[in-house]
Chains A and B, each alone.
Chain A
Amino acid sequence: MREVLVDVLLTMSWAVLGYTLLLDSVMLALVLTGARRVRASRRWDGSEGHEEIFASPLTPGVSVLIPAHDEEAGILDTLGAVLAQRYPVLEVVLVDDGSTDRTFDKVAERFGLVQVTARPTASLPVDGEILSVHRATTGDPLTVVRKTSVGRRSDALNAALNVARHPLVCMVDADSLLEPEALVQVARPFVEDPANVVASGGVIRAANGARVARGSVLEPRLSSRWVVRFQVVEYLRSFLLGRTGWADANALLIISGAFGLFRRDLVVEVGGLDALSLAEDAELVVTLQEHLRRQRRPHRVVFVPEPVCWTEVPETLAVLGRQRRRWSHGLAQLLWKHRRMIGNPRFGPVGVLALPFFLLFELLGPVVEVVGLVSVVLAAFLGLLDTGTALVMVGLALGLGTLLSTAAVAVEEFSYARYTRGREVGVLLLTGLLENLGYRQLHAWFRLRGLVAALMRRTPVWTAMPRTGFTEAEPVGVA
């Protein structure tokens, strides 16, 4: 019996170690590919033709869709940033999704809203009841839709799509701040390759701690909370470099819901956003790719490593846990719904590379990590652990993880250098080391719980994150 147990534990340990090394190696390859792309992109800085796009009457109009539920803390900043975009043709559709705070009142006061009769441009199904539609009287191209909430972001976005009038739609979270050039940069692929580009996404960064004034990030600063710092490194590694790498392989699966641009006609054609999905942003991208592949229509999903959308990330482990459980649950839903695409060469790099990766490493990763930890503890308990060998192996895994995070921070410093203070760069590098010692394991636990929720077929629930709003910069020269 003991021999069998020894064999099982040893096999598990080696399998987990091999899996971890493989995962980190793949991520390192993605980060390096992304870094190469970022470097190439930065070399074109100033020669991308943004001025021409801004000045051209041929540039397609964009409807910015913002779903908001209890967002009074930052909604005016978000609207201010969107309405200040340097973009020639723009409208904003804000959906007040059953807010119980003063979200609508604040917007009504600032923009002098008047009620109008809705003039829909599409008839996507919306489960919540549309209560009223309003327009701004301040000259701003703002439409506000009030509806009852059914607890799903996708429902609010579908309501917004039904009144959007421009050929491109940009989905932005209500707790996000766009940089003034963000829209023109993310729209550039649509201008340059209108026949093929169906969606494009931009870079998301954590706004917590940044100095903000009237919707503009004046100075990015690193939050004093470690849970935020861990996410800053994670966003650099996975959302900036990882997605750039996937896009380079023509296998981009996720465009963040916080900032993504899509062709409106195609989104309407596939029936809008999936009402039941907890990862509606990724779900939309995969649905579009599946739909267009099946019809053999040209399509390209692009990631632009330049534009920046600053968003509020969870500041406590409890909120982070809820968010990551939801993401994991949503990923499981997505992979199940599109299971026929997984490993299927008919769907190109998305089917052969991206979906298998997300299944093996993103969805099942936490299972393997937790099993690995349990096997090590069990082995130690039974006196089967060769401490020296175990330490070396753990050191190897830690070394690879640290190299991955350090490389991500290094690319940030070499390319963008958004954090100008030396101390902040130092803290970021330290965060890259520390995240392997506790945060990564906790993160795996959150994701495992999301996977279990999906397997138990629990009812998907979209829970809003508590908002603290942005840190307003103090006026200069005021005592």
Chain B
Amino acid sequence: MNSLAAAAAAATAVLGVLVVVLLVAVAAVHTTRTRRLAAAQGNRAGLMALVHDLLDDGDPDAVVAAPHDLDEVLLHLLPQLRGADREAIQTALTRRGVVARAAADLDARAAWRRGRAATLLGSTAGRDHLARLTALLADRSLEVRCAAARALGRVGDPAAVHGLLASLTTARPLPAGVVGMAVLDLGTAVLPALRATLVTGSPAARALSADVVGVHGDLAATSALVDLLTEARQPEDVRRAAATALGRIGDPAATDPLAQVLLDAALPPLQRAAAEALGRVGDPAGAPALLAGLTCPAREVAAACDDALVALGPEGSAVLADAAARGGPLGTAAAATLDAAPQPGRLVGV
């Protein structure tokens, strides 16, 4: 056997050893897991009895002294509970040292430990760790920053709104989707701050604030939103968010500005948002603009006008019928829209 073959044989032997090590590891892990699951299954009834006892104002000390597996049961139950039951579980977790361990883990080296700790504190710790969670919005790991934002949302302290909005434009920015969900979780107490941001915030913060005030149906924000929508110098995503928000709020005062944007903007995504908003507002005064939009070259805009006219109900149908009777390309489009609504009773293939 030459030297190359000898080296190959040695490498093969090493590979063989590695394979055997993996096989043994798989067998060991599988056996251990199977036994652990069986044991957990057996203990679960006892642990659940303890939890039920705790929720029925039983002895809290019994929960504190319970085995480690109880933490998992309590953390699993926590998001499903509200009110006094939730507080009882939170107290039990605090007394068992789970919250203290999580707080210590906020400085852990591993990102997943910091993230899990933030998540746990968001669910269990109330407002005690608000400052540390806010500081975590600037963490070097994006996943940790997202976990911290979600945790702040769960804590629900309106004071967190400023940190969250600021995190959109820092050197390590947070995604708008995550911040939006967290700000929504803070509830209506943050609406004044969001209205102010519509005027003074960064473009990203303006767009996000528009989204959130829209979801809350904040009538008081209509005027600021109309300003954002109609000002051509605003970034397109800000104007689009304003259009969507106006649709969600449903104030007829927005009909004219929305109709104007639909007809004049020449930006299909913005026009589509305006058409969808007109459908949501439901004001028949928007019907002529929607009818004109049916022949828009951008398919997505035409489809949105189509949906919006149907959403207007009898008023929309009347406008469509009138246009259909007059014929031409607009009449054809209107007739197709009229035909498009599902007609129950006409079953096919049955």
**Can you add 17 more A-B contacts, CB < 8 Å, to A58-B211, A134-B348, A409-B26?**
A49-B181, A57-B184, A58-B181, A113-B348, A116-B339, A119-B303, A119-B306, A120-B299, A137-B342, A165-B303, A165-B307, A191-B178, A193-B175, A392-B9, A399-B12, A414-B26, A429-B23
Q: Mark A30-57, 1 if CB is under 8 A from B, else 0.
A: 0000000000100110110101110011
- The yes or no answer to A101 lying at the interface (CB within 8 A) is no
Q: Which single member of A40, A388, A402 contacts B15 (CB below 8 Å)?
A: A402
Q: Could you tell me the distance between the alpha carbons of A415 and B17 in the complex, rounded to whole angstroms?
A: 22
Task: Contact check, A407 vs B153: say whether CB atoms are below 8 A apart.
Answer: no
- The yes or no answer to B115 lying at the interface (CB within 8 A) is yes
In chain B, what residue has the closest Cβ to A17? Answer: B8
Task: Contact check, B8 vs A392: say whether CB atoms are below 8 A apart.
Answer: yes
- The yes or no answer to A159 lying at the interface (CB within 8 A) is no
Q: Which single member of A53, A137, A413 contacts B30 (CB below 8 Å)?
A: A413
In chain B, what residue has the closest Cβ to A420? Answer: B34
Taking CB atoms, residues of chain B closer than 8 Å to A388 are 1, 5
B335 to chain A, nearest CB (A): 9
Q: Could you tell me the distance between the alpha carbons of A109 and B348 in the complex, rounded to whole angstroms?
A: 8
- The yes or no answer to A406 lying at the interface (CB within 8 A) is yes
- The yes or no answer to B106 lying at the interface (CB within 8 A) is no
- The yes or no answer to A396 lying at the interface (CB within 8 A) is yes
A selection of 22 A-B contacts at a CB cut-off of 8 Å is: A52-B150, A58-B181, A58-B211, A105-B349, A109-B349, A114-B347, A114-B348, A119-B336, A121-B300, A121-B303, A137-B344, A192-B175, A193-B177, A194-B176, A392-B12, A396-B9, A402-B15, A406-B23, A410-B22, A422-B30, A422-B31, A425-B26
Task: Contact check, A115 vs B2: say whether CB atoms are below 8 A apart.
Answer: no
Q: Which single member of B15, B22, B342 contacts A135 (CB below 8 Å)?
A: B342
Known: A120-B303, A392-B5. A413 touches B29 (CB 8 A): yes
Q: Could you tell me the distance between the alpha carbons of A59 and B339 in the complex, rounded to whole angstroms?
A: 31
Task: Contact check, B348 vs A108: say whether CB atoms are below 8 A apart.
Answer: yes
- Tell me the B1-31 residues at the A interface (CB within 8 Å): 1-2, 4-5, 8-9, 11-12, 15-16, 18-19, 22-23, 25-26, 29-31
Q: Which single member of B4, B15, B33, B175 contacts A399 (CB below 8 Å)?
A: B15
A418 to chain B, nearest CB (A): 12
A119 to chain B, nearest CB (A): 5
Q: Mark A156-187, 1 if CB is under 8 A from B, else 0.
A: 00000000010000000000000000000000
Task: Contact check, B341 vs A113: say whether CB atoms are below 8 A apart.
Answer: no
B201 to chain A, nearest CB (A): 17
- The yes or no answer to B279 lying at the interface (CB within 8 A) is no
Q: Which single member of A113, A117, A407, A414 contacts B29 (CB below 8 Å)?
A: A414
User: Top 8 A-B pairs ranked by shortest CB distance?
Assistant: A108-B349, A399-B15, A43-B112, A47-B119, A191-B177, A117-B339, A121-B303, A389-B5
- The yes or no answer to B55 lying at the interface (CB within 8 A) is no
Q: Mark A400-413, 1 if CB is under 8 A from B, else 0.
A: 10110011011001
Q: Mark A328-362, 1 if CB is under 8 A from B, else 0.
A: 00000000000000000000000000000000000
Task: Contact check, A52 vs B112: say whether CB atoms are below 8 A apart.
Answer: no
Q: Could you tell me the distance between the alpha carbons of A62 and B194 in the complex, rounded to whole angstroms?
A: 28
Known: A44-B143, A117-B339, A120-B303. A112 touches B347 (CB 8 A): yes
- The yes or no answer to B82 lying at the interface (CB within 8 A) is no
Task: Contact check, A122 vs B299: say whether CB atoms are below 8 A apart.
Answer: yes
Task: Contact check, A396 vs B11: say whether CB atoms are below 8 A apart.
Answer: yes
Task: Contact check, A403 vs B26: say whether CB atoms are below 8 A apart.
Answer: no
- The yes or no answer to B79 lying at the interface (CB within 8 A) is yes
The prevalent SS among residues of B at the interface is helix
- The yes or no answer to A15 lying at the interface (CB within 8 A) is no
Q: Could you tell me the distance between the alpha carbons of A403 and B23 in the complex, rounded to whole angstroms?
A: 10
Q: Which single member of A47, A119, A120, A389 contacts B147 (CB below 8 Å)?
A: A47
Taking CB atoms, residues of chain B closer than 8 Å to A46 are 116, 119
Task: Contact check, B337 vs A119: say whether CB atoms are below 8 A apart.
Answer: yes
Task: Contact check, B5 vs A104: say whether CB atoms are below 8 A apart.
Answer: no
- The yes or no answer to A298 lying at the interface (CB within 8 A) is no
Taking CB atoms, residues of chain B closer than 8 Å to A466 are none
Task: Contact check, B112 vs A191: say whether CB atoms are below 8 A apart.
Answer: no
- The yes or no answer to B346 lying at the interface (CB within 8 A) is yes
Q: Could you tell me the distance between the alpha carbons of A107 and B118 in the complex, rounded to whole angstroms?
A: 46
Taking CB atoms, residues of chain B closer than 8 Å to A192 are 142, 146, 175, 177-178
In chain A, what residue has the closest Cβ to B143? Answer: A44
Q: Could you tell me the distance between the alpha carbons of A33 and B350 in the complex, rounded to whole angstroms?
A: 53
- Tell me the A187-241 residues at the B interface (CB within 8 Å): 190-195
Between A52, A402, A413, the greatest number of chain B beta carbons within 10 A of the residue's beta carbon is seen for A52
Task: Contact check, A116 vs B341: say whether CB atoms are below 8 A apart.
Answer: yes
- The yes or no answer to A417 lying at the interface (CB within 8 A) is yes
- The yes or no answer to A393 lying at the interface (CB within 8 A) is yes
Known: A44-B115, A399-B16. A49 touches B1 (CB 8 A): no
- The yes or no answer to B41 lying at the interface (CB within 8 A) is no
- The yes or no answer to B215 lying at the interface (CB within 8 A) is yes
In chain B, what residue has the closest Cβ to A52? Answer: B181
In chain B, what residue has the closest Cβ to A133? Answer: B340
Q: Could you tell me the distance between the alpha carbons of A414 and B336 in the complex, rounded to whole angstroms?
A: 57
Known: A49-B178, A165-B303, A413-B29. A389 touches B2 (CB 8 A): yes
A276 to chain B, nearest CB (A): 24
Q: Could you tell me the distance between the alpha carbons of A409 and B147 in the complex, rounded to whole angstroms?
A: 31
Q: Could you tell me the distance between the alpha carbons of A58 and B345 in the complex, rounded to whole angstroms?
A: 35
Known: A56-B181, A56-B184, A392-B1. A410 touches B299 (CB 8 A): no
Task: Contact check, B350 vs A53: say whether CB atoms are below 8 A apart.
Answer: no
Q: Could you tell me the distance between the alpha carbons of A108 and B348 in the complex, rounded to whole angstroms?
A: 7
